[in-house]
Amino acid sequence: MVLGYETDAQRDLSSVREARVESKAFEKQWRDKEVKGFAERENAAKEISDLKSSVGTLEKSYKEARDEVVQLNHSITKRDSLIAQQQRVIDAATDAYDS
């Protein structure tokens, strides 16, 4: 009978060892997934930061371009005003010459 208990104990011990091996393998997989997840989060955070920086650069470029358009429109309006003024002077001179 003692021999039967030893065999049962050996089986139990073997089962415990297998469970430990499986547990350690599971823990390693879990840690690997955590490390991979952390790396993915770090990469995502960097990508988000890069995108925010790009958006900031684009916004700055847009504002500069918009300011340039405003300046060009002002210059065009000023030029048109000068052309109209010159045309009035020409018309007045033509009228004076014709009379």
Spatial distance between the Cα atoms of 66 and 72, rounded to a whole number of angstroms: 10
**pTM of this prediction?**
0.53
Mean pLDDT computed over 22-44: 92
pLDDT at residue 4, rounded to an integer: 56
Place of tokens 């000068």: 82
pLDDT at residue 7, rounded to an integer: 77
Query: What is the amino acid identity at position 31?
Result: R
Mean pLDDT computed over 77-95: 95
Percent helix / strand / coil, the chain, rounded to 5: 100, 0, 0
Mean pLDDT computed over 33-47: 93
Q: Per-residue pLDDT tens for 50-75?
A: 999 999 999 999 999 999 999 999 99
What does the radius of gyration of the chain's CA atoms come to, in whole angstroms? Answer: 42
